[in-house]
């Protein structure tokens, strides 16, 4: 079906798969434009050309367009590159000074100390490119703080002169924990009227807060699940922006992310040892056996294999898991980890592996192939995130019949139905403490031993469908609403 909607969308993100990504943001920022384009939406993507992006592999070519971007008393040269795949053009902003680096945001010492300048250049260059090409765009769709200043630059201009703004803007919040907060001494680089540095726009406890400015100035704001859209209005989840968000509550929407099942389906997945489907689960058992062998774990068919595939950061509830670990290890289970992240968490997980070598395996690495094998071969998937705007791993795990245990928050609440409720697909614990967490794990282990109930649960989980099509339809409706307002 093709929807004839004449909206031209400029889709801006600091990460887009397959070019460069650090997590869920990059995946969604690839899947959504693709799904929108399939529905007939005319969409262009734009992102930075990081040094780590393989230009040859993706046929990324210079367009010949060069822009001089001013930061008050200095000027930087930006070159525009592009590539087109499946009818969607992606523009890339190249800068030797700011983007010719291996990583997206950090090096081994932490955040790059010029991240403000880097994404300031990125956003000024985008507005510069719109004007240079005289693009007629209906909506500029911004994602997270790295593009949240665009609504401001579209109105106030990038060079100290007001701009006639014909574009509408949507800002999607993927994670409110990262807001782009910087020293106010850098404000002059933005070349915005001083009035923009007021608490009504960019000022935040004496600093510049990029997300705050975007939330206030965008025509509409959305987050990536209906529950998280409500939660961020509360002090507990608002990360000090709940007041700002409440002022905009009439224009805050929640649209659940979809996932690309073309990449994540056990019946066609080429990474896993044996394909399987709802009608024939025998392959799942083979995947478990292979996974246990691969990780040098004893092959035990009836011992629950519990996995966690995650960025290793505090958001992901690792502290709660560590606190519960001694108790967990009293049970006849195996626990496996896959992911990288903050050094402290990586060390703690390695330590667990040393203490319980027969039951715990940690793969501190980023590997797509292992991720698929973990989802396919495990019985239970742990996702005790303290907050979760949407989350993807629980959705992947369910598709592979691996039952999630998660905290009842954000996108986890919107995607998992708690056992034994009607249509249940996983387990949700209600209170963020070790008692409630361990209690849910114990309950899940009881159900695991009731083979008929467990198989029914697996099949219901595998049937869940969080498709990109549904997500795209909801964004189209939101775009239409923004345009007509």
* Residue 274 near residue 303, CB atoms below 8 Å: no
- Which of 130, 224, 370, 428 forms a contact with ligand GLC (CB under 6 A)? 224
Question: From the list 19, 24, 201, 380, which residue makes contact with ligand GLC (rule: CB under 6 A)?
Answer: 24
Nearest distance, CB of residue 23 and ligand GLC, angstroms: 5
Length of the chain, in residues: 485
Residue 461 dihedral angles phi and psi, to the nearest 5°: -65, -40
Q: Does residue 14 belong to the site contacting ligand GLC (CB under 6 A)? A: no
* 15 touching ligand GLC, by CB under 6 A: no
Stretch that binds ligand GLC, among 40-48, 92-100, 297-305, 387-395 (CB under 6 A): 387-395
> Based on CB atoms, which residue is closest to ligand GLC, 24 or 180?
24
When the beta carbons of 25 and 335 are compared against ligand GLC, the nearer one is 25
Name the residue with the smallest CB distance to ligand GLC: 24
Q: Which of residues 260-279 bind ligand GLC (CB under 6 A)?
A: none
Of 341 and 389, the one with the shorter C-beta distance to ligand GLC is: 389
- Each residue 163-202 as x (binds ligand GLC by CB under 6 A) or -, in order, gives -----------xx---------------------------
CB of 43 to ligand GLC, least distance (A): 18
Q: From CA 190, how far away is CA 186, in angstroms rounded?
A: 8
Answer left, alpha or beta for residue 191, where phi above 0 means left and psi between -120 and 50 means alpha. Answer: left
Instruction: Provide, rounded to whole angstroms, the least separation between the CB of residue 371 and ligand GLC.
Output: 15
Nearer to ligand GLC by Cβ, of 16 and 462: the residue is 16
* Residue 257 near ligand GLC by CB under 6 A: yes
Nearer residue to ligand GLC within complex by CB, 317 or 377: 317
Q: Least Å distance between CB 411 and ligand GLC?
A: 6
Kind of pairing, strands 203-204 and 207-209? antiparallel
Check binding of 28 to ligand GLC (CB under 6 A): yes
Q: Which residues bind ligand GLC (CB under 6 A)?
A: 23-25, 28, 174-175, 224, 257, 388-392, 411
């Amino acid at each position: 079906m093709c929807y004839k909607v004449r909206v031209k969308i400029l889709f801006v993100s600091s990460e887009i798969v397959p070019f460069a990504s650090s997590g869920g943001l990059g995946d969604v920022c690839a899947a959504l434009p693709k799904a929108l384009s399939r529905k007939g939406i005319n969409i262009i993507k734009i992102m930075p050309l990081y040094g780590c992006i393989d230009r040859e592999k993706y046929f990324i070519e210079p367009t010949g367009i060069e822009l001089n971007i001013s930061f008050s008393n200095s000027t930087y040269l930006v070159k525009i590159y592009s590539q087109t795949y499946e009818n969607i053009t992606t523009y890339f902003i190249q800068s030797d000074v700011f983007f010719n680096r291996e990583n997206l945001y950090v090096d081994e010492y932490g955040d790059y100390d010029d991240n403000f300048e880097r994404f300031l250049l990125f956003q000024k260059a985008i507005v510069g490119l719109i004007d240079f090409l005289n693009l007629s765009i209906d909506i500029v769709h911004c994602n997270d703080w790295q593009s949240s200043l665009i609504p401001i630059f579209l109105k106030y201009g990038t060079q100290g002169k007001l701009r006639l703004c014909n574009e509408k803007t949507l800002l999607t919040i993927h994670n409110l924990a990262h807001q782009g907060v910087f020293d106010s001494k850098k404000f002059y680089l933005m070349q915005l009227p001083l009035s923009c540095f007021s608490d009504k726009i960019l000022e935040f406890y004496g600093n510049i807060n990029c997300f705050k400015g975007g939330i206030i100035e965008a025509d509409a704001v959305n987050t990536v699940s209906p529950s998280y859209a409500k939660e961020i209005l509360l002090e507990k989840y608002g990360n000090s922006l709940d007041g700002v968000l409440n002022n905009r509550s009439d224009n805050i929407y929640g649209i659940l992310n979809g996932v690309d099942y073309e990449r994540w389906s056990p019946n066609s997945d080429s990474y896993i040892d044996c394909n399987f489907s709802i009608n024939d689960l025998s392959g799942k058992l083979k995947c478990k056996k292979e996974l246990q062998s691969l990780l040098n774990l004893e092959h035990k068919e009836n011992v629950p294999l519990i996995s966690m595939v995650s960025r290793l950061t505090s958001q992901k509830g690792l502290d709660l898991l560590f606190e519960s670990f001694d108790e967990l290890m009293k049970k006849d289970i195996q626990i496996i980890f896959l992911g990288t992240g903050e050094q402290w968490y990586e060390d703690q997980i390695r330590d667990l592996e040393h203490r319980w070598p027969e039951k715990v395996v940690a793969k501190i690495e980023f590997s797509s192939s292992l991720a698929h094998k973990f989802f396919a071969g495990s019985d239970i998937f742990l996702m005790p995130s303290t907050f979760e705007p949407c989350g993807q791993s629980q959705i992947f795990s369910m598709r592979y019949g691996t039952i999630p245990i998660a905290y009842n928050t954000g996108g986890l609440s919107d995607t998992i139905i708690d056992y034994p409720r009607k249509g249940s697909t996983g387990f949700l614990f209600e209170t963020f403490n070790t008692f409630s967490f361990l209690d849910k794990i114990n309950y899940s282990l009881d159900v695991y031993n009731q083979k008929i109930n467990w198989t029914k649960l697996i099949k219901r989980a595998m049937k869940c469908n969080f498709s990109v099509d549904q997500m795209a339809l909801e964004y189209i409706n939101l775009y239409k609403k923004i345009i007509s307002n």
